[in-house]
């Protein structure tokens, strides 16, 4: 399945009646979509990591609200309460990506309006959130590629591609756009323990005919020392107004290593990833996942002396970030003034 034209692989597809979700846990071996008809199913798809990546989680949740309205509007006079309960359930699916809460807030604001035909209007709004995300990614792709001009090699972490968004991707969108302009060597870290880099990123790039080189996460310092990369390009799950950015666990280590080796770090994220309410990264809740994701089965007993610590995000301080690329513009050296000037930018 090689993609044609400007099309990228799709994590989410609205069929007209249902939401199709690509089960990313099965990639790259299997391309399998699951179909959802209600908010409960969509919540489960997010919790189980069938769909993952901050913008994609937000878009899925928006469709989850649309499904909720379609289900309850015809059945009950109390449909608003039932939709509100579904929104509360969706909000508990994962804690770190602010795009989830952003999308749910947008849907709530829309629901609060006088609507002639709520199921139709709410679905149209979810589709708009989806389409806007793709447009933002394409814009960021161009802006980020401008910043990368002349770079010979880049490294990315986790998967911040079409699979993690409405399409095209944030970090991978920049890499896609840069690749169209000039030959560039792309490296991807495996991204333990879920292996988003090994299973998703290199596969997604290959679908577009973009060659990449996979490295063990622990090879990153040595790669930087070799001089092969000029930039690390990553996405984000939540950015504080001072420019601190939460992203997949290991991003912070890459940022520290990058500083040591004279490599720059670019964070690419739509403004829906900025949490305007928080002033720094200390206020970001970091998701802790089940230790079983790390532990070999033999240590999974009650009396085992071996446990695991499994935070799945970390926060990179603004001082280690060279550029934050959004659809509203690029902030160079965010440590100086954070991202506040983007709030009212168009
Ligand atoms: O646990 P995941 O796979 O949802 O984590 C995803 C990431 O950390 C991505 O880098 C981030 O959400 C940005 S996706 C455009």
pLDDT band per the 50, 70, 90 thresholds, residue 1:
very low
Q: How far apart are the C-alpha atoms of 129 and 57, rounded to whole Å?
A: 12
- Nearest to residue 259, comparing CAs of 219, 280, 226, 232? 232
Coil/strand/helix, residue 210: coil
Least confident of 117-126, 180-189, 292-301, 314-323: 292-301
Using the Cα atoms of residue 9, residue 287, residue 137 and residue 45 in order, give the sign of their dihedral: positive
CA of 303 to the centre of ligand 1 (A): 34
Our answer on whether the CB atom of 8 is closer than 6 Å to any ligand 1 atom is no
Where do you find CATH 3.40.50.10470 in the chain?
Answer: 140-342
Q: What confidence score (pLDDT) does residue 277 get?
A: 97
Our answer on whether the CB atom of 233 is closer than 6 Å to any ligand 1 atom is no
Instruction: Tokens for 326, please give them.
Output: 């959004």
Helical spans, DSSP H, in the chain: 39-47, 54-73, 79-91, 98-111, 118-147, 171-181, 202-207, 220-225, 251-261
Q: What confidence score (pLDDT) does residue 170 get?
A: 98
Looking at residue 53, the DSSP 8-state letter turns out to be: S
Instruction: Tokens for 58, please give them.
Output: 């937000």
45 within 8 A of 36, measured Cβ to Cβ:
yes
Distances (CA, A) of 93 to 39, 108, 114: 11, 17, 28
pLDDT band per the 50, 70, 90 thresholds, residue 344:
confident
Indicate the angle between helix axes 118-147 and 54-73, nearest 10 degrees.
170
Q: Check 133, 230, 237, 244 and give the catalytic one.
A: 237
The pLDDT mean for the chain works out to: 96
Q: What confidence score (pLDDT) does residue 345 get?
A: 83
pLDDT band per the 50, 70, 90 thresholds, residue 76:
confident
68 within 8 A of 38, measured Cβ to Cβ:
yes
Q: What confidence score (pLDDT) does residue 154 get?
A: 98
b/e for 143-163, b at 16 or more Cβ within 10 A? bbbebbeebebbbbbbbbbbb
User: Residue range 93-119: average pLDDT?
Assistant: 97
- Nearest to residue 322, comparing CAs of 264, 263, 253? 264
Q: What confidence score (pLDDT) does residue 301 get?
A: 87
Out of 3.20.20.60, 3.40.50.300, 3.30.70.1150, 3.40.50.10470, which CATH number does the structure's domain 140-342 have? 3.40.50.10470
Q: Which atom of ligand 1 is nearest to the CA of 234?
A: 10
Q: Which atom of ligand 1 is nearest to the CA of 97?
A: 12
CA of 50 to the centre of ligand 1 (A): 13
pLDDT band per the 50, 70, 90 thresholds, residue 4:
very low
119-152 per-position pLDDT tens digit = 999 999 999 999 999 999 999 999 999 999 999 9
Number of Cβ within a 10 Å radius of residue 4: 6
Whole-number percent of the chain with pLDDT over 70: 98
265-310 per-position pLDDT tens digit = 999 999 999 999 999 999 999 999 999 999 999 998 889 999 999 9
Please say if 23 is a catalytic residue.
Answer: no
Q: How far apart are the C-alpha atoms of 56 and 62, rounded to whole Å?
A: 10
Q: What confidence score (pLDDT) does residue 346 get?
A: 67
- pTM comes to 0.96
Our answer on whether the CB atom of 133 is closer than 6 Å to any ligand 1 atom is no
Q: What confidence score (pLDDT) does residue 6 get?
A: 53
Q: What confidence score (pLDDT) does residue 3 get?
A: 47
* Phi-psi domain of 198 (left: phi exceeds 0; alpha: psi -120 through 50; beta: other): alpha
Write the residue with the smallest CA distance to atom 8 of ligand 1: 248
200-247 per-position pLDDT tens digit = 999 999 999 999 999 999 999 999 999 999 999 999 999 999 999 999
Our answer on whether the CB atom of 52 is closer than 6 Å to any ligand 1 atom is yes
Q: Which CATH class name applies to 12-134?
A: mainly alpha
CA of 3 to the centre of ligand 1 (A): 22
What is the per-residue DSSP string for 17-51?
Answer: SSEEEE-GGGTTT---EEEE-SHHHHHHHHHTTSS
Say if residue 103's pLDDT is above 60: yes
Our answer on whether the CB atom of 58 is closer than 6 Å to any ligand 1 atom is no
pLDDT band per the 50, 70, 90 thresholds, residue 2:
very low
Whole-number percent of the chain with pLDDT over 90: 95
Say whether the peptide bond before residue 50 is cis (omega within 30 degrees of 0). Answer: no
């Amino acid at each position: 399945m090689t993609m044609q034209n400007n099309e990228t692989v799709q994590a989410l597809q609205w069929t007209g009646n249902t939401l199709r979700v690509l089960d990313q846990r099965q990639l790259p071996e299997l391309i399998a979509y699951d179909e959802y008809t209600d908010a409960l199913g969509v919540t489960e798809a997010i919790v189980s990591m069938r769909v993952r990546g901050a913008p994609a989680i937000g878009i899925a949740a928006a469709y989850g609200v649309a499904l909720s309205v379609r289900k309850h509007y015809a059945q009950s006079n109390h449909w608003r309460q039932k939709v509100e309960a579904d929104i509360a359930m969706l909000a508990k699916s994962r804690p770190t990506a602010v795009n989830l809460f952003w999308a749910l807030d947008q849907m709530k604001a829309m629901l609060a309006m006088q609507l002639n035909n709520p199921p139709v209007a709410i679905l149209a709004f979810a589709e708009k959130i989806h389409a806007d995300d793709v447009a933002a990614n394409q814009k960021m792709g161009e802006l980020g590629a401008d910043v990368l001009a002349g770079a010979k090699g880049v490294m990315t972490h986790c998967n911040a591609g079409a699979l993690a968004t409405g399409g095209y991707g944030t970090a991978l969108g920049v890499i896609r756009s840069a690749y169209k302009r000039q030959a560039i060597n792309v490296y991807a870290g495996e991204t333990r323990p879920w292996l988003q880099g090994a299973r998703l990123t290199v596969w997604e790039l290959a679908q577009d005919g973009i060659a990449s080189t996979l490295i063990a996460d622990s090879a990153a310092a040595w790669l930087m020392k070799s001089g092969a990369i000029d930039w690390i390009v990553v996405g984000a799950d939540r950015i504080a107004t001072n420019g601190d950015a939460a992203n997949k666990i290991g991003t912070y280590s890459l940022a520290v290593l990058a500083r040591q080796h004279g490599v720059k770090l670019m964070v690419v994220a739509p403004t829906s990833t900025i949490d305007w309410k928080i002033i720094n990264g200390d206020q970001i809740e970091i998701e802790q996942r089940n230790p079983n994701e790390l532990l070999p089965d033999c240590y999974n007993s009650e009396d085992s002396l071996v446990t695991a610590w499994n935070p799945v995000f970390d926060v990179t301080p603004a001082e280690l970030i060279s550029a934050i690329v959004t659809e509203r513009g690029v902030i160079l050296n965010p440590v100086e003034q954070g991202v506040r000037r983007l709030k009212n930018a168009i």
